[in-house]
Amino acid sequence: METSRDNQIEESLSKSVAGFTAPLGLVNQLKRPSMKLDVVPILDLLVIALLMSLLFTRFVVVPGVRVDLPETELRMPHHDAAVAVLTIGNKGMLYFDGSVYEQNSIERAFKRHIEQSDVDSGHVLLVKPEATMPLQAFLELCRMAQVAGFEQVQIAGEKKESHIDIVPVDSISDRQQMMLPVM
């Protein structure tokens, strides 16, 4: 019902306009204005937004790989053997001789390192764990190192700084008769 009413309004409007301009033939010369979207102002806005985001963004530069070593009280005696360092990273990434390897490709790197070494015997592999690794995968790494020619596999650690205090039994309720370590 509304559409018919809208149509009637348009017809009456066009007739009134046509009535005024019909003798001059101007109705035929009228064209609908074209809807154009100018690209240049949009590009200007995008460039300004890009510049603003680049100017006010703080860029963080990571200087290298952060390695968190495990803590231990054990000390290894120092000797003059050739030491190669293997760093265990997150998600199974292994860093050795300045390259990144996965578990299945590290054995070739071990062999290449032994072949290129000047020392005939006494090769030591020092493992620096940054992340956790399943024990089975670590044992497989040790086996690969042994097959390649390493005589020892050592694990690097950090000195433990916090001391464990024991809570006395008197401070625990009567129902709990055990000693608890407190960090």
Span 71-159: which CATH code?
3.30.420
- b/e code 16-54 from CB counts within 10 Å (16+ = b): eeeeeeeeeeeeeeeeeeeeeeeeeeeeeeeeeeeeeee
Q: According to the model, what pLDDT value does residue 19 have?
A: 58
| DSSP per-residue codes, 10-66 | HHHHHHHHHHHHGGGT-GGG--PPP----HHHHHHHHHHHHHHHHHTPPPP---S--
Domain boundaries, the chain: 2-55, 71-159
Residue 6 to residue 14: CA distance in whole angstroms: 12
Residue 48 pLDDT level (bands cut at 50, 70, 90):
very high
Q: What is the pTM of this model?
A: 0.44
- Strand pairing of 94-96 and 83-88? antiparallel
Return the structure tokens found at 144: 């690969």
pLDDT of 47 > 90? The answer is yes
- What does the pLDDT look like over 120-174, one tens digit per residue? 777 888 888 877 778 888 888 888 888 888 888 888 877 666 655 555 555 555 5
